[in-house]
A and B are shown apart, each in its own frame.
Chain A
Amino acid sequence: MSSLPRIARALRRTVLQAIPTVIGIVILNFFLLQLAPGDAADAMAAEAGSATEETMAAMRERFGLNLPMLDQLLTYLNNLAHFSLGYSPRYSMPVSDLIGQRLPGTLTLMAMALAIALLIGLTLGSLMAAFAGRLPDRLISIFSLLFYSVPGFWIGLMLIVLFSVTLGWLPSGGSGTIGSDLSGWAGIVDKARYMVLPATSLALFYVAIYARLTRAAMLEVRNQDFVRTAYAKGLSPAVVTVKHILRNALIPITTMAGMHVGGMLGGAVVVETVYSWPGLGRLAFEAVMGRDYTVLLGILLLSSLLVILANAVVDILQTWLDPRIGEL
């Protein structure tokens, strides 16, 4: 039986479930925007330096800020439907364009961090499970707990002290050598050099999470009856681990990995500020500093949509891993 129809069914279910969530998030966003002190007119007036009451009123009229709440909500929804998240006076450009500029930076950073975290986390977790209760397990377990306890921004700064300031191996901030127009392999290496530290800072916390998760999942699966069946067939421990345990253990791990995408986005905010990485997080930081709520809420909305997208990907992955999902 092909798994495509199952995946299609699971995807449809995911999309249907996401609709009320998206609506809820949009409405929440709108109300947060209402709660924010001052409105866009205030902000623009502040930017302009001087504004009379009349020009303020005119601006409010123009942007519909004097309308009743419900009308404003409808305007907001209408704008959203046209992919408009508002206008940032500070950057003098639409918020959506602003976010669009910064999004790739954050996505690259997150993808890199996720890859590092999964790779190291799965490896450490499998090791811990293999040596459960013995010295290697305990040592790795303490280390993973330490990673779990370190604030990302602090480890970021410490890595800068060590690798940029003291050793001078890696750049301390930015996303590429300014003024250089490296291309091809050299360009990639240059980019990578700038990415190593931020991605590592962001990944450490998740290395700990995935390692612990992998350990727990492997131990759980290892006690299942079907693993005993596999041993009773005469399979070697290595084959049992790879063919029977790992695939089953991956199911809860993917769920959790999906649930942490939102957390990683949050982590990116802080890490990007440390490394002046031109991404959404840095934009959020600048927006906070400038009290630019339109931008801030635009980021919140967009990052939520990103999380929903990530959940959909996880659903598909899980359906593919677990034949029991999406059955009629």
Chain B
Amino acid sequence: MSTTDLNAPAIALAGARQGAARPEASALPEWHNVRAPDARTTLTAAVTVPPGRRELRIFFSNPNALFGVTFLSIMVLMSIFAPLISPGDPLNMVTTPFLWPGQDAAYPLGTDAMGRDVLAGIVHGSRISLFVGLAATALGLTVGVVVGAVAGYFGGWVDDVLVRIIEIFQTLPNFVLLVVLVAIAQPSALTVTVAIAIVSWPMVARLTRAEFRAIRAKDYVMAARSLGFGCARIIFTEILPNALPPLIVTASVMVASAILMESALSFMGLGDPNVVSWGSMIGSGRELVRTAWYLTALPGLAIVFTVLALNLIGDGLNDALNPRFSEERS
């Protein structure tokens, strides 16, 4: 290649890519103001990779995250097809009580004190856990992002007021507030979902606000303002896409903690009384924990693995999206 009219020396830069090439975490420090070498690719040779594709590749090359995705997919399928997998009401008595797992091939996970099939309970219980987890997260995320975005973007007195409100909700101990809300509103799938959303939005709002404040100060937002972009355009096309990575990570962790909260509520007898849930199975099994401990162990394992899967996904997303890995993005 001869001298081009693109005068920059050895043109392209690997700056943006150096993070990806870097081993995940070296044991010795990598100092901030020592740049790793420029890979000597040139502009013409560079392949355009839209932001996001690379992150996806990193995510799917992470075995932990892959396990999480697989397990969660199975859980989701199981909850969708629950009526096909184990037809009938899981709350019905089907056979003799206290069958231990493996004792009867027809009921591989045994039966409880009322002769109800434990497997059917776990299969159907996944529905309420996942529904509450996803719905509460969707609701909490929406409210949190809106509040946080407004506070972070507009600042001033609006920010002051919203921060106060966020602070109040963050000061109230989450689970105690949750118990109070559900107890007052009477437990049902809907009230539990709304209550979990109420206790979880402040964290999202806080995070969104911080992101918006940081990104709002960036030069490209300054440039958008100086070009006369409207607030909506700036928020939705300039700031939000750049604020998404941490929010995506948070969302996966929120689903996990919503499932934990739902199970704890059900365990305490504050779940929807009309549907079987993992937490309520543990709750009814606890009296018999000395004799039939499998009644608490099995639904508990379902919770643990589902939540673990979500947390593994969250970790994988964090590694893939972590802005630290591409310095230019931060």
Chain A residues near B (Cβ < 8 Å): 20-21, 24-25, 28, 32, 35-37, 130-134, 137, 142, 145-146, 148-154, 157-158, 160-161, 165, 219, 222-225, 227-228, 259, 262-263, 265-267, 269-270, 273-274, 284-285, 288-289, 291, 293, 296-297, 299-300, 303-304, 307-308, 311
Contacts and interface: CB of A to CB of B under 8 A. Distances in A.
Contacts of B244: none
A149 B176 contact: no
Interface string B158-178: 000000110110111111111
B126 interface: no
A154 B175 contact: no
Contact of B264 (A24, A146, A151, A291): A151
A294 B24 CA distance: 53
B59 interface: no
Given A157-B296, A228-B31, A285-B268, A267 B304 contact: no
Nearest to A301: B172
Nearest to B293: A161
B182 to A, nearest CB: 9
A106 to B, nearest CB: 11
Contact of B27 (A134, A151, A225): A134
B307 A165 contact: no
A133 B25 contact: yes
Contact of A307 (B171, B186, B267, B289): B171
B33 A225 contact: yes
B120 to A, nearest CB: 20
A228 to B, nearest CB: 5
Contacts of B307: 149-151
A127 to B, nearest CB: 13
Contacts of B304: 146, 149-151, 154
Contacts of B24: 132-133
A32 B180 contact: yes
Given A158-B297, A165-B290, A151 B23 contact: no
Contacts, number: 165
Given A21-B164, A21-B167, A24-B165, A223 B300 contact: no
Interface in B292-330: 293, 296-297, 300, 303-305, 307-308, 310-312, 315
Nearest to B310: A149
Nearest to A287: B183
B26 A133 contact: yes
A222 B31 CA distance: 9
A269 B179 contact: yes
A71 B26 CA distance: 64
A308 B311 contact: no
B260 interface: yes
B168 A28 contact: yes
Interface residues of B, number: 56
B171 A296 contact: no
B171 A262 contact: yes
Given A225-B32, A297-B180, A145 B168 contact: no
A267 B264 CA distance: 9
A223 B183 CA distance: 48
B64 interface: yes
A188 B142 CA distance: 50
Judged by DSSP, the binding face of B is helix
B137 interface: no
Interface in B249-278: 256, 260, 263-264, 267-270
Contacts of B172: 25, 28, 262, 300, 303-304, 307
B104 interface: no
21 contacts: A20-B164, A32-B180, A32-B184, A133-B25, A149-B304, A149-B305, A150-B307, A151-B303, A151-B307, A153-B282, A154-B300, A157-B289, A161-B293, A222-B29, A262-B172, A263-B173, A263-B175, A267-B175, A303-B176, A304-B171, A307-B172
A266 B167 contact: no
A157 B173 CA distance: 23
B168 A154 contact: no
A289 B269 contact: yes
Most-contacted residue by chain B among A35, A130, A269, A308 (CB, 10 A): A269
Contact of A304 (B23, B31, B165, B173): B173
A25 B29 contact: no
A146 B307 CA distance: 9
A150 B178 CA distance: 19
B118 to A, nearest CB: 15
B164 A262 contact: no
Contacts of B174: 262-263, 266
Contact of B268 (A28, A36, A273, A297): A273
B286 interface: yes
Contacts of A134: 27
A35 B172 CA distance: 18
A267 B174 CA distance: 9
Contact of A154 (B29, B177, B296): B296
A307 B308 CA distance: 28
A270 B267 contact: yes
Contacts of B38: none
